[in-house]
A and B are shown apart, each in its own frame.
Chain A
Amino acid sequence: MKFLPLVWAALTRKPARAVLTLLAMIAAFTLVGLMTGMNAGFKAIEAMTRSDRIYVNPRFQGLMPAAMGKQIAGMPGVAAVIPVGEVWGYYQVQRNNVYVGLGDFERSRPEWPVTPAQWLLLRQDPDGMIMSRIQAERWHKRVGDVFTMNAPSFNRMDGTKTWRFKVVAVAPDIALNPDGYLFANLTYFDKSKPLSEQGQVGYFEVMAADPEKGSQIARAIDDTYASSGTPTRSFTDRAGFENGQANGVNVEKVTRDVSLAGLAMILFLTANGIAQSVRERFAEFAALKTIGYGDRIVMLLVFLEAALPCVTGAGVGIGLAAILSGMVNHLLPPGWGLPVPVMTLPVYLFAGLGAAVIALASTALPALKLRRMDIATALSGRT
Chain B
Amino acid sequence: MLRQIWIVSALNFKSLMGRFWQSMVIVVGLAATIGVMLSMLSLSVGMREAYLRAGDPGRAIVVSKGAESEAQSSITRDVAPLIADGPGIAKDKDGKPLADRGLNMGVPVLRKDGSKGYTTMRGIAVEGQGVRPELHIVAGRMFQPGRREMIVGVGAQALFRHMQIGDKVILPDGEWPIVGVFATGDLLEGQLLGDTETLLTAMHKTAYNSILVRLTSQDSLDTFKKALTTNPALSVTVERHSDWYKRVASQSTFVLALLAYIVGAVMAIGALFGCLNTMYSAVSTRSREIATLRALGYGALPVAVSVVLEAVLLAVSGALIGAAIAWVLYDGKQDVFGNSVFHLSVSHVQFELGVTWAVVVALAGGLLPSIRAARLPVVDALRAT
Contact = CB atoms under 8 A, between A and B. Distances in A.
A380 interface: no
Contact of A248 (B35, B106, B280, B337): B337
A336 B116 contact: no
Interface in A208-246: 226, 229-231, 233, 235, 239, 242-244
A34 B255 CA distance: 16
Given A261-B36, A268-B24, A61 B203 contact: yes
Nearest to B118: A244
A264 B28 contact: yes
Interface stretch (A109-117, A272-280, A285-293, A298-306): A272-280
Interface stretch (A13-21, A75-83, A128-136, A162-170): A13-21
Contacts of A94: 66, 68
A30 B74 CA distance: 47
A62 B277 contact: no
Interface string B226-268: 0000000000000000000000000000110011000100110
B270 A262 contact: yes
A62 B72 contact: no
Chain B CB within 10 Å — which of A34, A233, A261, A276 has the most?
A261
A247 B337 contact: yes
B336 A248 contact: yes
A275 B21 contact: yes
A27 interface: yes
A59 B33 contact: no
A24, A226, A262 — which one has the most chain B CB atoms within 10 A of its CB? A24
Interface string B340-381: 000000000000000000000000000000000000000000
Contact of B277 (A31, A254, A273): A273
Interface in A134-179: 152-153
Contact of B172 (A28, A153, A229, A265): A229
B79 interface: no
B66 A24 contact: no
Identify the interface centre among A30, A226, A258: most chain B CB within 10 Å of its CB.
A258
A21 B338 contact: no
B72 A152 contact: yes
Contact of A265 (B21, B64, B270): B270
B269 interface: yes
Interface stretch (B89-97, B107-115, B122-130): B107-115
Contact of B32 (A23, A261, A335): A261
B40 interface: yes
B277 A269 contact: yes
B255 A60 contact: no
Given A27-B266, A248-B117, A338-B255, A265 B337 contact: no
Interface string B216-232: 00000000000000000
Interface string A26-55: 011011001100000000000000000000
B172 A248 contact: no
Q: Which of A21, A27, A94, A338 has the most CB of B within 10 A?
A: A27
Given A24-B273, A60-B105, A244-B117, A268 B25 contact: yes
Contacts of A27: 266-267, 269-270, 273
Contact of A235 (B116, B254, B335): B116
9 contacts: A16-B280, A27-B267, A60-B105, A60-B203, A61-B71, A61-B105, A153-B74, A248-B335, A261-B32
Given A21-B277, A23-B273, A336-B255, 11 more contacts: A24-B271, A27-B266, A60-B106, A152-B66, A235-B116, A243-B115, A265-B32, A268-B24, A276-B22, A276-B281, A338-B255
- Nearest first, the 10 closest Cβ-Cβ pairs linking A and B are A27-B270, A24-B273, A20-B277, A265-B32, A247-B338, A27-B269, A23-B273, A243-B116, A31-B266, A268-B28
